[in-house]
């Protein structure tokens, strides 16, 4: 493994011997440690079931770890009270594979939901949000190229558009960290490229720290700074993206796969 944790001191996300075991006995994350420095765009690679989603959910506290620690922006997630957890989540954007939009609500309402962490009390309907937030929501929609659709219902959009609305919702949080859990797994190749380009462009413009899980190596190359590969909940690859090509990454997978005598997962990345 190549060392990339040199800048560990200014780590935004810091994961230390983290494990998660579900009640049915599955160990989804197994003793994982790594630091993500500020502004880094990290691609998290792995097949489905390798523990990527669970790891992401542990980072923003949607799951609680069985052992180990997660520290985000100086807050230790696994020791937070519910209130602290909410406060921390305000600074972490989360993009879901299934978008997580309420289909009956308009795009702008779905985007405004991203501001809830900053507001007191429940809100329903566009008019219940302050004007400056509404303007902000429109700006976010403009940034993802969906301003004309602002007052259209979310369930009238295509998959790629829905994911862009979800990105706009995260932007509404003005997040310092963005977690994207398989953001393109339910999209066609063209929208996939669009959505990923949008994420990496925003990350560079805003200096955001990003962890983005993917199962296609070729999509990660050119859009990420660093790659971490997971298999069976363990880290089997950790290197900078610069200079990496599909071949070399698959070789790494093959080597670690052969060592453990399991079937070769790298072949499935092709």
Q: Using CB under 8 A as the criterion, which residues of the chain lie in contact with another protein when the complex forms?
A: 23-25, 60, 62-64, 86-94, 96, 98-102, 104-106, 109, 113-117, 119, 121-124, 126-127, 131, 134-135, 138-139, 142, 147-148, 150-151, 166, 169-170, 172-173
* Minimum CB–partner distance for residue 204 and another protein (Å): 21
- Rounded alpha-carbon distances, angstroms, from residue 58 to 114, 194, 231: 20, 27, 17
* Minimum CB–partner distance for residue 183 and another protein (Å): 12
Distance, CA of 141 to CA of 135 (rounded, Å): 10
* Minimum CB–partner distance for residue 28 and another protein (Å): 11
Distance, CA of 48 to CA of 25 (rounded, Å): 18
Of the two residues 87 and 245, which places its CB atom closer to another protein in the complex? 87
* Minimum CB–partner distance for residue 118 and another protein (Å): 8
Q: Which residues pair with 8 in a beta bridge?
A: none
Would you give the end-to-end CA distance of the chain in angstroms? 22
Q: What are phi and psi of 13, to 5 degrees?
A: -120, 130
* Minimum CB–partner distance for residue 88 and another protein (Å): 7
* Minimum CB–partner distance for residue 164 and another protein (Å): 14
Distance, CA of 59 to CA of 40 (rounded, Å): 16
Q: Which residues pair with 230 in a beta bridge?
A: 235
* Minimum CB–partner distance for residue 235 and another protein (Å): 23
- Check: CB of residue 241 under 8 Å from CB of residue 208: no
Q: Which residues pair with 177 in a beta bridge?
A: 92, 209
Of the two residues 16 and 147, which places its CB atom closer to another protein in the complex? 147
Of the two residues 211 and 227, which places its CB atom closer to another protein in the complex? 211
Of the two residues 172 and 252, which places its CB atom closer to another protein in the complex? 172
- Check: CB of residue 123 under 8 Å from CB of residue 116: yes
Of the two residues 178 and 227, which places its CB atom closer to another protein in the complex? 178
- Check: CB of residue 51 under 8 Å from CB of residue 29: yes
Of the two residues 166 and 237, which places its CB atom closer to another protein in the complex? 166
Q: Which residues pair with 19 in a beta bridge?
A: 67
Of the two residues 94 and 269, which places its CB atom closer to another protein in the complex? 94
């Amino acid at each position: 493994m190549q060392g990339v944790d040199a800048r560990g001191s200014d780590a935004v996300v810091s994961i230390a011997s983290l494990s998660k075991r579900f009640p049915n006995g599955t160990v989804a994350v197994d003793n994982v440690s790594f630091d993500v420095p500020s502004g880094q765009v990290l691609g998290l690679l792995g097949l489905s079931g390798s523990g990527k989603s669970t790891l992401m959910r542990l980072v923003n506290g949607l799951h609680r770890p069985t052992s180990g620690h997660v520290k985000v922006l100086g807050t230790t997630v696994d020791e937070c009270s519910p209130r602290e957890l909410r406060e921390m989540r305000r600074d972490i954007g989360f993009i879901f594979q299934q978008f997580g939009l309420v289909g009956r609500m308009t795009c702008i309402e779905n985007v405004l939901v991203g501001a809830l962490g900053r507001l007191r009390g429940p809100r329903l309907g566009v008019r219940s949000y302050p004007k400056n937030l509404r303007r902000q929501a429109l700006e976010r929609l403009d940034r993802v190229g969906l301003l004309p659709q602002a007052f259209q219902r979310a369930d009238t959009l295509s998959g790629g558009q829905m994911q862009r609305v979800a990105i706009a919702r995260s932007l509404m949080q003005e997040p310092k960290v963005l977690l994207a859990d398989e953001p393109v797994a339910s999209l066609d190749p063209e929208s996939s490229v669009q959505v990923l380009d949008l994420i990496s462009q925003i990350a560079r413009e805003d200096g955001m720290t990003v962890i983005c899980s993917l199962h296609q190596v070729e999509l990660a190359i050119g859009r990420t700074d660093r790659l971490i590969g997971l298999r069976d909940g363990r880290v089997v690859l950790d290197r900078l993206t610069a200079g990496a090509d599909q071949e070399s990454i698959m070789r790494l997978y093959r080597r670690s796969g052969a060592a453990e005598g399991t079937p070769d997962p790298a072949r499935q990345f092709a």
